[in-house]
Amino acid sequence: MTTNAPAARPARAQFSSGPCAKRPGWTLEALNDAPLGRSHRAKVGKAKLKLAIDLTREVLNVPADYRIGIVPASDTGAVEMALWSMLGARGVDMLAWESFGEGWVTDVVKQLKLTDARVIKAPYGTLPNLAEVDTRTRDVVFTWNGTTSGVRVPNADWIADDREGLVICDATSAAFAQDLDWQKLDVVTFSWQKVLGGEAAHGMLILSPRAVERLESYTPAWPLPKIFRMTKGGKLIEGIFQGETINTPSMLCVEDYIDALQWAKSLGGLKALVAKADANAKALLDWVEASPWIANLAEDLATASNTSVCLKIVDPEVVTKGPETVAAVAKGIAAALEKEGVAYDIGAYRDAPPGLRIWCGATVETDDVKALTAWLDWAFAAEKAKLAAAA
């Protein structure tokens, strides 16, 4: 640890967990082929939307019989479409170990008011007991990667192969950085602005044949807003999954997503993206292991995220002063590094325990993560010096 400002600086200071850093080398000129001022229903618009869907399938290795649709309102919109359109046919197990999972619980229990909704929770830093989840006879809703807790499921082995219900997975900070077991998942959602650093407000909704069957055979007891409707006359609206979006998309954002997908292909596809995120997370966690003042919020490193890495301050001299001091030190570190132009938006999520959250997805460069760690030590030393001066 040093009190002198480090000489090396990250080339890019974007470590936000959403919207995330653009791909390396990105410029606005990369979007010059966007059909601006054209209708998304015109031939050129439909072709771009279909290309985005096809590239998504290719890069993520989505099975050929799964439908992929571009939907409004980011990952939130995609999840809400699934919850409101599919739940209620049978009991559901809701998993929550961070703020977004808690949000889905609120929607199902307090808004949809499903009486047979079983909530299985765990505190930040841990996973629920996955053995308690009934994946065979009940529907299941869970986040693959807890964006605000830095904890992810290690795999999908806990999901039954002979399941009768649907498995709905919010994968917004996992897609393109972690291996999703498609055969265990019936609904998968994510947004463009996470691992690929796309622009906001558009979500992706991926449906298995079993999910389509649910949509075509089940009518919820509650009214569905137009923006959530995926069937007409008891049949799936196939156009949604061929580029005919429910509402008007931004063709500039679509072009940006296509650019990110083509960049992902140029690296080597999903395998290369996962490897890059793993390397970034390892660089950060190697530093954490060697630094006595900081620790991973994930209690079991086998479940630690390789994208939204959440950290907690464990320095005894700070912790013994109470949670308000811990929060103040964490905020001070984030503010100091933002002022220096070294790291932006690395404070913990507002509902999470006080600490730091550093994005390590594939659009971040490993050398920048390594350069950041020295600055983290520097900023922490400065915060401790303030505490000592105030004592």
The per-residue DSSP string of 339-368 comes to: HTTS-BS-BPPTTSPSSEEEE-STTS-HHH
* 316/225 same-domain check: no
* 105/248 same-domain check: yes
Q: Which domain holds residue 324?
A: 269-390
Asked which of 266, 285, 307 is the last residue of a domain, the reply is 266
Of 171 and 391, the structure prediction assigns the larger pLDDT to: 171
Q: Would you say residue 1 has pLDDT above 60? A: no
Asked which of 266, 297, 324 is the last residue of a domain, the reply is 266
Contact status, residue 251 vs residue 38, Cβ threshold 8 Å: yes
d(CA 124, CA 194): 21
Strands annotated E in the chain: 67-72, 92-96, 117-121, 139-143, 145-146, 151-152, 167-170, 187-191, 202-207, 231-232, 235-236, 294-296, 308-313, 356-359
Structural domain includes residue 15? no
Structural domain includes residue 8? no
Structural domain includes residue 4? no
* 223/261 same-domain check: yes
pLDDT in tens, 316-334: 999 999 999 999 999 999 9
pLDDT class of 116 with cuts at 50, 70, 90: very high
Instruction: Output the domain CATH number for residue 84.
Output: 3.40.640.10
**pLDDT > 70 fraction of the chain, expressed in percent and rounded:** 99
Instruction: Output the domain CATH number for residue 285.
Output: 3.90.1150.10
Structural domain includes residue 9? no
Number of domains in the chain: 2
Structural domain includes residue 87? yes
pLDDT in tens, 47-105: 999 999 999 999 999 999 999 999 999 999 999 999 999 999 999 999 999 999 999 99
d(CA 34, CA 252): 6
- Going by C-alpha positions, the residue among 204, 134, 198, 135 that lies closest to residue 171 is 204
Structural domain includes residue 2? no
Question: Which residue type does 107 have?
Answer: D
H or E element at residue 318: helix 316-319
19: preceding bond cis by omega (within 30 degrees): yes
* 281/149 same-domain check: no
* 289/329 same-domain check: yes
Q: Would you say residue 263 has pLDDT above 50? A: yes
Average pLDDT, integer, range 211-225: 97
Asked which of 239, 266, 293 is the last residue of a domain, the reply is 266
* 247/340 same-domain check: no
Q: Return the C-alpha torsion angle 54, 59, 64, 69, nearest 10.
A: -50
Structural domain includes residue 23? no
Average per-residue pLDDT in the chain?
97
CA angle 283, 98, 316 (to 5 degrees): 60
pLDDT class of 391 with cuts at 50, 70, 90: confident
pTM, full prediction: 0.97
* 210/317 same-domain check: no
Question: Which residue type does 99 have?
Answer: S
Structural domain includes residue 344? yes
313 three-state secondary structure: strand
* 252/128 same-domain check: yes
* 250/298 same-domain check: no
* 131/171 same-domain check: yes
* 279/262 same-domain check: no
